[in-house]
Every structure is written in structure tokens, then in C-alpha cells.
Amino acid sequence: MNRDVTDAIFNHCPVGCSSTLETTSIVLPEGNLKRCPACGQLLSACGKAWFDESMQEFDVPEGTLPTGKNKIRYHQRMGKMLNDAKAVVAATQIPKLLDVGCSSGALLLVAKECGYEAFGAEPATQAAATAKSLGFDVFPGFLQDARYPDNHFDVVTLFEVIEHLLEPSDVIREIQRILKPGGLLLIGTANADSWTVRQLGGSWEYFDIRSHGGHISFFNPKSISLLAEKCGLDVHEITTKRVNLVERKNASKAVYEVAKVARELLAIPARWSKKGHDMLAVLRKPKQ
């Protein structure tokens, strides 16, 4: 992997803050994470070549289709989320859903089962072809190039995507344009202001660009709320869950078992205080 960091991808806050980025004490192979003092956004110090190379792992036919037990859990979790969204938008006709970064179509399958007319956009051409082979209308490219009509979708989903974006405001503004008034944007990403980050720091696997290709921009409830406001969306709800105190690969069995107990004890406080490391932001386009 190309580890040149002389062409660092971030020299300003992608949320739009004017503050000068600070260097944190969170050490990664590509250099210490940067931080926006205004919104708390954490940013990778990696270079453009390193980022581009890490993103190549996604252009495979199987994409991110879950398998086995993960598939069952995925369908249950996403099905509940999409049914909840459908109840909020209360569409009078079959609701339209767009999954941005749909990969090979896992979420589109769930959306169809939940009664949506499902569409996708995916720049990884092989994964997009797999999703299209499942019978879905998938645009094989970046969202801004699809040129969907104004006020077209009831729900747009952006799961495990925003942490890859150099300029997230460009994508969020485009989503705001294509959402119907009162429509929802669901963003799933990690919470950089979590107890997990406080405990694990640079050893948290989510920060590792080698394990999670293209993870460069790490949001928190404040920064994602600011981004929503700048892009013309209201915050409907932000929730977090889960706490990790150790990475399994770095801990003995005994330590890991103790950490599991602590994780369960912290689950409810983490939700209440928004300190869990899994974050769901539900944003809404204002009704006209």
C-alpha cells in the first residue's frame, strides 16, 4: 500500500468549520488523526494515493453481501429500521427508497421486502452489476452524476459511506435536493465521540484504513448535526449503541470475557448519553 502522506487529503474540516485542524494523540500508521476543534470531527492524515488504493477493495462482484448468521441479523436490523422510516414518511403511494453506496444490493433486497420501490447508486462497477442482476434499478456511478429528479425519493439511505467522503456536503446537498419534502435520510456510521474511542484510541479497528478501506472521516452527533443544518436538513433523531473496551484480536480470552460483561453493563448508559460507537442519524427534509 502506498503510504505517502505528503499529499494529505484533509487540510480543512469537511463539515465546513473555519477552525484550523489540530493534531490529536491518536496514533495510526498514516499519522496522528487530525481534529476540528469546532465540531470534533476526526480526520485521517493519509495521502490521496493511499486513500485511492484502499478503496479498490470494494470493486468486487460480491460487494458487501452478508452471509450466514450475519445475513439473518442484517435483515432483521435493517428491516426494522426501514419499517420505522416508512411509518414516519407515511407515503400515500408505494414509497421510493434510494440506497447510496448500495454495493451488491443487500439493503435493496430488504427494502423490497419492506414494501419499498428500491433504487441504488454505486460507483464500484462490479458490485453495481451484481445489484442490477437482482432486478434493481442501479446507477453505476457517483450520486451527483445520476441526476435524479427533484423531490423524488421518500427515503434515502447512506450506510457505511459518509466516512469515505472527502466532501460530504456535496453528497448531502444532492440528497436534500432529491428527497421529497418530509422525506428521510438515514446515515449509519461510527461515532468518533464514543467511549470506545476514548478507551481504544488508535487501536480501534474502525480507524484502520488497512482493515476498513477508505475510512478517513469520523463523525460524531455534533458534527453530523452541523452538516445537516448546513445542507438544509433537520435532525429527526440521532441514536448510538454498543461499546467496545478491547479488540478481540488484541486480548486474552479471560480479558475479553470480562470486557464482554462490562460492555453489556454499559449498553444502556451508552445509548442514553450518545456515547455508543454505532451511530444512526435520521435527518429530515423540511415539509413545504
Q: For 274, which DSSP code?
A: T
Closest CA to 158 of 145, 141, 172: 172
Assign 4 a pLDDT band (cuts: 50, 70, 90).
Answer: low
Q: Contact at 8 Å (CB) between 139 and 110?
A: no
Q: For 184, which DSSP code?
A: E
Q: Beta strands 34-35 and 42-43: pairing type?
A: antiparallel
Assign 3 a pLDDT band (cuts: 50, 70, 90).
Answer: low
| Cα–Cα distance measured from residue 196 to residue 266, given in angstroms and rounded to the nearest whole number | 11
In this structure, whether the domain defined by 22-285 belongs to CATH 3.40.50.150 is answered with: yes
CA 146 vs. chain centroid, Å, equals 20
Assign 2 a pLDDT band (cuts: 50, 70, 90).
Answer: very low
- pTM here? 0.93
pLDDT, one tens digit per residue, over 53-92 is 888 777 777 777 677 778 889 999 999 999 999 999 988 8
The C-alpha cell at 38 is 469546532
pLDDT, one tens digit per residue, over 80-139 is 999 999 999 988 899 999 999 999 999 999 999 999 999 999 999 999 999 999 999 999
Which residues does 193 contact at the CB level (< 8 Å), separation at least 6?
40, 220, 221, 222, 274, 275
Q: Where are the domains of the chain?
A: 22-285
